[in-house]
Amino acid sequence: MRGGDRDAYAELVNRHAPVALRAASLLGAGPDAEDVVQEAFVKAYRALSRFRKGAAFRPWLLRIVANEARNLHRAAGRRAAREQSAWERTAPLLTAPEADNPATTALSRERRAELVEALARLSEKQRLVVTCRYLLEFDEAETATVLGWPRGTVKSRLHRALRQLHDELARPETAALEDDDVHRREVGYGA
Amino acid sequence: MAPDTRYKAVAGDLVLLGRAAPQPTPLPGLTAAVMTRLSAVPPPVVATTPQHVLRRVVEVVATNRRRAVAVVTTLLLALLATPPVRATVADWFGFAGVIVRHEVTPRPSMAPPPPPAAGATTIEQANALVAFGAVVPDALGVPQGVEVSADRRLLSMSWTGGRDGTVRLDQFDGRLDYTFLKVARADKYTSVAGSPALWFDEPHEVVVLNPDGSSRTETARLAGHTLIWQYGDTTLRLEGNLTRARARTIARSTTPLP
């Protein structure tokens, strides 16, 4: 590896490490996020030959990160056990209050607990798409790359996930009535 | 944000939930650990097919599509010789308006000092002529020469007789204007005020490409130490008998004209 390449790649690692860590921790790595990210950067370098010229580095790296985070749970056995194992590492991060983070106070402790319980009842795929799109705030295109799904699949799974979350969660009393009426009329046919 | 306004409330709460989660900060040793592991990894091999080259060329000139075809012909062979990994990494940083071609051909060990800018305009006059906001490195003081190219896309300044000898600064709007083609054996990544920069510490050829992609032969010359960086959308190229430290100091002192 040439000197200039090393410096350039180190710069890429520096630049993308924070978002990679955050993605790893919420996509199933939990406290092992640092190891997952290190592994992902090494794999990304090895896989540079498959990198499509002209594509952005970040979504591609994050896709490797997402795969590595899921790979941590291979030892857990059957699929259901693996998915459960990944969620068990993520959920505590979402419920644990962080004292000096202003976003923590934006939601009540009860609301956070409610959201996390509702997330637990989603399918693994729905949880992944919600995690990428909302918890990690990736845009739709990046979410599609990170999860390796077509854009249409991201849209439809996200829509179903949001509908389920919306239906399960207690809404603020004042706003609930009208919205729910509209909602019932629209989904009534399929119910 | 939500695909449906009915779900806006829950989507908004999910965003807040994500933001409230602990924000992990990378341990100081992360980059070093990755780089140590990579030192044992052989460089990846990329099959450089004409398709790859074509895609890369189109990407390089994506800011100015109309000259893409001409650039393809000019640079096809050049890019075939570009080490692929390096080319890829350089693309990610995206030095607008600069193409670096690597060649192992031996170069003379010394380059002549850069040609001083000829014009007798003032910085203020020059700034009024170009369509981008010109910048000046305060570390060099008032330039002795200021020149604007006939098509008003390239602004050059030079300083002579100071502690640095002859120093030349070229600047242009990296989004759409000039392309400098540099043919060098190697370049090094460095930084200017936290932004990536390229440093050439060996004599190398530099050519200014026409907007149609053809090279302007009269501009082909041997250049000495050169630092390339960006200030906003302006791409800057500083050349002279400078150390890397001095070049970075000058680059850091850059401020826009009022």
Give me the total of CB pairs closer than 8 Å, taking one residue from chain A and one from chain B. Answer: 183
Single out the residue of B36, B82, B32, B34 nearest to residue B56, CA to CA.
B82
Q: Can you list the pairs that B208-212 forms with residues at least 24 positions away whose Cβ atoms lie under 8 Å?
A: B208/B154, B208/B178, B208/B179, B208/B180, B208/B181, B209/B67, B209/B71, B209/B74, B209/B178, B209/B179, B209/B180, B209/B181, B210/B67, B211/B64, B211/B66, B211/B67, B211/B151, B211/B153, B211/B177, B211/B178, B212/B66, B212/B67, B212/B70
**Amino acid residing at A34:** E
| Position B39 confidence tier, pLDDT thresholds 50, 70, 90 | confident
Q: What is the mean pLDDT of residues B33-57?
A: 55
Question: Which residues of chain A does B1 touch, with a Cβ-Cβ cutoff of 8 Å?
Answer: 134
Of A140-149, B70-79, B167-176, give the range with the top mean pLDDT: A140-149
Single out the residue of B238, B221, B86, B5 nearest to residue A183, CA to CA.
B5
Q: What angle do CA A43, B35, A46 make, to 5 degrees?
A: 25
Q: How far is A89 from chain B (nearest CA, A)?
A: 13
By CA distance, what is A168's nearest residue in B? Answer: B10
Question: Which residues of chain A does B18 touch, with a Cβ-Cβ cutoff of 8 Å?
Answer: 26, 94, 131, 134-137
Tell if the CB–CB gap between A103 and B10 is shorter than 8 Å: no
* Dihedral of alpha carbons B74, B78, B82, B84, sign: positive
- Whether A145 has its CB under 8 Å from any CB of chain B: the answer is no
Which comes out higher in pLDDT, residue B95 or A105?
Answer: A105
Span A23-60, pLDDT tens digits: 999 999 988 999 999 999 988 887 776 666 566 788 88
Question: Which residues of chain A does B25 touch, with a Cβ-Cβ cutoff of 8 Å?
Answer: 18, 21
Length of chain B: 258
Interface of A with B in 40-99 (CB under 8 A): 41-42, 45-49, 51, 53-54, 56-57, 93-94, 96-98
Q: How far is B102 from chain A (nearest CA, A)?
A: 12
- The residue among B10, B60, B91, B190 with the most chain A CBs within 10 A of its CB, best to mutate, is B10
Span B182-219, pLDDT tens digits: 666 566 777 776 667 788 887 777 766 655 555 555 55
Whether the pLDDT of residue B55 is over 60: the answer is no
Residue given tokens 């002279």 in the structure block: B240
Single out the residue of A190, A118, A126 nearest to residue A160, CA to CA.
A126
Tell if the CB–CB gap between A8 and B22 is shorter than 8 Å: no
Question: Which residues of chain B does A162 touch, with a Cβ-Cβ cutoff of 8 Å?
Answer: 2-4, 7, 10-11
Nearest to B31 among A10, A94, A183 (CB): A10
| Position A5 confidence tier, pLDDT thresholds 50, 70, 90 | low
Which comes out higher in pLDDT, residue B190 or B71?
Answer: B190
Nearest to B18 among A49, A57, A136 (CB): A136
| Cβ(B69)–Cβ(B61) below 8 Å | no
Token pair of B166, please? 């002859």
| Percent over 90 (pLDDT), chain A | 33
Q: How far is A79 from chain B (nearest CA, A)?
A: 25
Tell if the CB–CB gap between A5 and B196 is shorter than 8 Å: no
DSSP A9: H
Q: 3-class SS at A169?
A: coil
Tell if the CB–CB gap between A37 and B26 is shorter than 8 Å: yes
Range scoring the smallest mean pLDDT among A66-70, A156-160, B184-188: B184-188
Tell if the CB–CB gap between A112 and B20 is shorter than 8 Å: yes
| Cβ(B111)–Cβ(B240) below 8 Å | no
Q: How far is A138 from chain B (nearest CA, A)?
A: 10
Span B113-167, pLDDT tens digits: 888 888 778 888 888 888 777 888 888 988 999 998 887 878 999 999 888 999 9
pLDDT at B190: 76
Tell if the CB–CB gap between B16 and A98 is shorter than 8 Å: no
Tell if the CB–CB gap between B30 and A57 is shorter than 8 Å: no
Span A101-115, pLDDT tens digits: 666 677 888 888 999
